[in-house]
Each structure stands twice: as C-alpha cells, then as structure tokens.
Amino acid sequence: MSASTTKFIEIVQNPFKFIFFLLSKLPAAYFSGVRLKYADDNQAVVTVPYKWFSKNPFKSTYFACLSMAAEMSTGILAMAHTYQKQPAISLLVIKTEGTFLKKATGITTFTCDDGQVFEQAVNEAAASGKSTTVAARTTGKNSAGDIVAEFVITWSFKSKSQ
C-alpha cells in the first residue's frame, strides 16, 4: 500500500473529517445516514439505515439511498488509490447496475473488496495515459446476513497529464 493511500484511509477513518466531507461534498448521503464503518486499501464497508430520511412509501430503504451507500463503498477505494497520485488521475462513475433482492428494512451494510483491482487500474492509467475502467462489485446485507442488494459500479480512470 502506498503512503498516499494510507494517508487517505487515515483521513476517512477520522469521524470528524469524514462527517465534514459528507456535509460539504455529499450532504444527501449525510442526511440519509450513510456512514463509513471500515476501510483499508482493499476493502470498504459502508452502512445506510432505514429511517425517516431514507425511507420510501413501501416501508423500506429508498433505492437511491441504497445506491449512495453502494457507490460510496466502491468510491472510497477508488479515491484512496488516486489520492495524491502523480500524475494526477481523474475518476468518474460511468455505469451503475443494481439488483434488489430483499426489502431493506434496517441497517444495510455494503462491502466492496476490490481494492487491488482499483490499484492495478489506477497504476495502468498513470503509466499508459489511457483510460482504464473497473467494474467494482459491492454487496449489501441486512443485520441477519441476508443479501438485500448487489451493485456493480463501473469507474473510469485517466491520467490528467495526457
């Protein structure tokens, strides 16, 4: 793990800095209750609760709130591996696919274990100057361990120097 990736993980694991980040950059995620529970260079775990701000008329978590948590579980890893990278790397979500398998009525926990795939794609984009993509898989489970939703978030990376 690079020093810059370690630094980014330390920043996002600081509760005050992460809450400030959410309030300033992703206020809808903050008010929906999306929270980072764990992150390292290979894995990110993000939760979203079923509560007043995140509910739908069907007494479950609104799909957009589930999508926010899913994207964040992949985005933490994408940002960690691009943080302070030289040359700088731009990143962008280019596709989102979601499958909803069970009603989300409590806390849903999304886990993405694709850190190594992100690291390889970012390094390739930096070395080649060409765009690379990662289709990152994240799985959302309820407190009983049942799969509630699965997402594939496709990220694009490109060196800003080219």
Q: Residue 146 pLDDT > 90, yes or no?
A: yes
Taking residue 127's Cβ as centre, other Cβ atoms within 10 Å add up to 11
98 DSSP β-pair partners: 151
Alpha helices for 14-156 (secondary structure H): 15-25, 27-32, 63-82, 115-128
Can you give the pLDDT at residue 160? 85
Q: How far apart are CA 109 and CA 45, in angstroms?
A: 7
For domain 3-159, the CATH architecture is: Roll (3.10)
Over residues 66-71, mean pLDDT: 97
pLDDT confidence of 1, banded at 50, 70, 90? Answer: low
Q: Beginning with the edge strand found earlier in the chain, give each strand of the sheet holding 132-141 in spatial order.
A: 35-39, 44-48, 108-112, 132-141, 147-159, 89-100
Can you give the residue ranges of every domain in the chain? 3-159
- In percent, the amount of the chain with pLDDT more than 90 equals 87
The conformational region for residue 33 under phi > 0 = left, psi -120 to 50 = alpha, else beta, is: left
pLDDT confidence of 3, banded at 50, 70, 90? Answer: confident
Contacts of 24 (CB under 8 A, 6+ apart): none
Question: What mean pLDDT value characterizes the chain?
Answer: 94
Lowest mean pLDDT among 2-6, 41-45, 146-150, 158-162: 158-162
Can you give the pLDDT at residue 38? 95
